[in-house]
A and B are shown apart, each in its own frame.
Chain A
Amino acid sequence: MSTAHLKLHTKPEVPLEADVLNTAKLAGLSQSGIEHLSVMHGNEKASLGDFFKVTGKGNSEIRLEGDLSNIKMIGAGMSDGKIVVEGDVGMHLGIGMSGGEIVVEGDAGDWVGPEMSGGRIIIKKNAGHMVGAAYRGHTTGITGGEIFVHGDAKNEIGSGMRRGFIAIGGNAGDFTGVNMLAGTIVVLGELGIRTGAGMRRGTIASLEDAPMLPSFEYACTYRPLFLRFYLRKLQENGFKRKIQDKHLNGIYKRYSGDGIELNRGEVLLFSK
C-alpha cells in the first residue's frame, strides 16, 4: 500500500481551505494529479502544488508534514482510509467525516470533527474550542465516531452531540456537553464551569471534582461499571498517564440533569 506524502513548502499567507485533502479525492491520482487539485487560498483558487511538495500516489493513506495551522477542512467528509499529520492543523479538521482515521501529532484549531458521523480523530496535543460540536444555528453536533484529544480542549466540547464518544486527556473549558442530546464525553482532567448546561441525555464523566449548575441534582454515589470499560479502552489508546487503578475501581458521584430539560443526562465525578 503506497502513501501519498505531502510536505508543506510554502505556508499560505491567508487561510487555505483544503477540503480536497481526503483519501477519496486523492485516490488513484498521480503525483501531478494531486498537485493540480484545487484549493481556496482566501478568495482565490490555487492548487495544492502551490503549497505542497507531493511524493507518491493517492491511495488509502495520506501523510501531511509541516505547520498546517492555517489550513482548514483537512479530511472533510472522509469516509475511509487514514490521514496522518506531522504538525499542527487549522480549523474544521474532519468536518462531517463518516469513517476512517485522522491522526494529528501536534495541536488542532477550533472545530475538530464538527458534525461527524463516524470514524476516529486523534489529536496528540491540544485542541481549540468546539471539539465535536454543532455549527451555530444547528441543534445536532456529532452523530457518531470517536474524538480523542490527548491534551487540553477549550469551550463547548460536544455541543449538541447526539451519539459518539469524545475523550479529553487534559482539562476541558466551559460548557462541556452543552445542549447534549446523547453520547459520552470523558474528561480525564478538570472540567470548566457550567458543564452539561441544557443537556437532555448522555453522560459526561471526569476524574476530578467539578462545580455543578443549580439545575443538576445529586443522585447517588456508585461504581459505574460501564465507565471501567471506557477507561480501559482509553488506556489501550495511549491515555495511560492519568488513569490509575483507583479510577477504574473507584466510586463516582452521579448528578442528574439538566432539570430545565429532560433531566435524563448524567454527570459522573470521581469521588474516591
Chain B
Amino acid sequence: MSEAAATNTPAKTKEENKNIKLVNDATCTFCGCVCDDMDLTVDTDENKITKAKNACILGKAWFFEHTIDHERPVAMIDGKEVSVEDAIEEAAQTLVNAKFPITYGLSDTTCEAQKQAVAITDLIRGNIDTTTSVCHGPSGMAFQGVGEMTMTLGEVKNRADLVIYWGGNPAESHPRHFGRYSVMPKGMFVPNGKKDRYIVLVDVRKTKSAGVANEFIQPKPGKDFEILWALRALVKGKKINNSIEKETGVSIETLENLVDRMKNCQFGVLFFGMGLTMTRGRHFNSGALLSLATDLNEYTHFVAKPVRGHGNVTGADNVVSWQTGYPFGVNFSYGFPRFNPGEFTTTDLLSRGEVDAAMIIASDPGSNFPKAAIEHMHKIPVISLDTKPTATSKLAHVAFATSTYGINTSGTVYRMDDVPITLRPAFESPFPSDEEILTAIKNRVHELVKAKRYRN
C-alpha cells in the first residue's frame, strides 16, 4: 500500500456502518491521457470505488468495475494452484533455459515493473518488445527516421490555436483530451478557449469527434500518405498533380486552405492516431506527418504528437529506450541490444515460430494476435502476469495474478506527452504487484545465470 493513499485520512459519512476513504488527485491509468485529477471515494469495507469525480465514461468504468476476485490463486502452474515461490522458480528456470525467450506487453503496468522486465530480458539474453509494436511502433520508427517536433499537453492547452487530429477518434477513445488539453480549455495565449482555436479532424469516417471540429476532412481510406505528401509539397511551394482529388477524395482547394491556415497559425499541433500508423504505409505515414510538422517550422511553431492508447505505453517506450537505447523490438541474444522491427517484434517472431519461451506482462496477445502467433504460443511455455484472467493466462504454463496499477499499486506512469506522473492507489489488493513478482523472478534468474556461467 502506498504512502500517498495512507495519508488520506478515512472520513465517516452519513452511512455509519461504512468506512469511506477519499483519495484526492488520484490518477486514472485507463488511457494515455493519464488524468491525474480524480477524486475517488472508496468503500474500504467492500474494497470498491463508489465515486470518481472528474472521471470520463471510460474512467468511471475503469474505477467502478474494479473488484478483487478472492477466488483467484496468486500463482498457478499448468492451471493448478501453487505457492508463489514455486511459480517464481519455475518461471526463472523456464526463462534461463530458453534459447530465444521473449518478454512482451508492459503497457499496462508501472515504469518500476517495466524496468525489472528489461533487466530480466538482459540477463536471459532474450528479446523485449512492448505493445507499442502493434500500435504506435511505426511512429517510433518514424521518430528515428525523420525526427519529432514535440511538446507537452500543457503547452497545447496554453498556446495552440490550430489543432489537427489525424486518423483518430478521441471523443470516444480519449474523452477528456478535448476538454482537458486541446479544444476547450482556456489558456495563457488562448484566453477564450475553443473560440480562439481552429479544430480540424481528418478521418475516413465521420465519428463523434467531428462534432467539435471546425473543419472535417474525409479522405478515401488508405490515402493519408498521399494527402500528407501533397500537403508537404504545397508547404514547400511545389505544384501538385491535379489528379489528387480523384485519387484521395480531397480537393486541391481544401488542401491549399489548410496549408494557408497551418502556415499562418501561432502554434499548430498535429495529433495522430492509429488510423495513420496501422494502415498501409505505417511508419511512412507517421513519418510523412512528422516531416510535415518539421517543414512547417520554417513558417511558424508546429508540433506533432501521437495520441497513445494504453495507460503507460508511453512509459514502456521511455523505460525500454532509457535502458536499451531503442523503444521496442530489442534483442539481447549477443548480450548487447540490437533493434530491428520486423525481425525482433513479437507478432513477427511468434508468427514465424522462432521463439521457445515467452513472458507476457499486462497484456493479452492470446486473444488479439494473429492465428499463427497464438498457435505458436500454445506450443511453448508461456509465463503470464495479469490482473484479470485472460486468454493468455489460460494458455500460460506459469500464471501470476497481480494487483492493478493506479487502483491498488503505486508507481510511475508516463502521460502520452512523456510527462511522468505518480500514482495514488485507492485500496490494497491481496495480490502482489507486477514489480514484486518481476523483482523476485529477476533475483532468481540472476542466481541461475551466474551458476550457469560458472559451470561453463
Contact = CB atoms under 8 A, between A and B. Distances in A.
Interface residues of A, number: 33
Interface string A79-95: 00000000000010000
What 3 A-B pairs are tightest by C-beta distance, nearest first? A42-B99, A43-B125, A14-B100
Interface string B90-114: 0000000011100000000000000
Nearest to B244: A214
Interface in B158-202: none
Contacts of A194: 225-226, 281, 284
Contacts, number: 91
A214 B99 contact: no
Contact of A43 (B99, B284, B341): B99
Interface stretch (B14-22, B48-56, B208-216, B348-356): B348-356
A259 B235 CA distance: 12
A42 B333 contact: yes
B273 interface: no
B354 A137 contact: no
A259 B284 CA distance: 17
Given A43-B100, A178-B284, A260-B236, A136 B145 contact: yes
B194 to A, nearest CB: 33
Interface string B267-285: 0000000000000110010
A213 B145 CA distance: 20
B343 A214 contact: no
At the interface, is chain A mostly helix, strand, loop or mixed?
Answer: loop
A178 B352 CA distance: 26
A129 B284 CA distance: 15
Given A42-B99, A259-B239, A215 B233 contact: yes
Contacts of A174: 280-281
B243 interface: yes
A259 B244 CA distance: 15
27 contacts: A13-B356, A14-B355, A15-B100, A17-B333, A40-B334, A42-B99, A43-B124, A43-B125, A43-B126, A91-B343, A110-B342, A129-B342, A136-B141, A136-B144, A136-B339, A137-B145, A174-B280, A193-B280, A194-B281, A214-B226, A214-B240, A214-B247, A215-B238, A215-B240, A217-B241, A259-B233, A260-B233
Interface in A188-222: 193-194, 197, 211-217
B137 to A, nearest CB: 11
A188 B225 CA distance: 25
Contacts of A110: 342-343
Contact of B232 (A13, A14, A215): A215
Interface in A90-143: 91, 110-111, 129-130, 135-137
Interface in B234-255: 236, 238-241, 243-244, 247
Given A43-B125, A213-B229, A15 B236 contact: no
Which of A43, A129, A193, A212 has most chain B Cβ within 10 Å?
Answer: A43
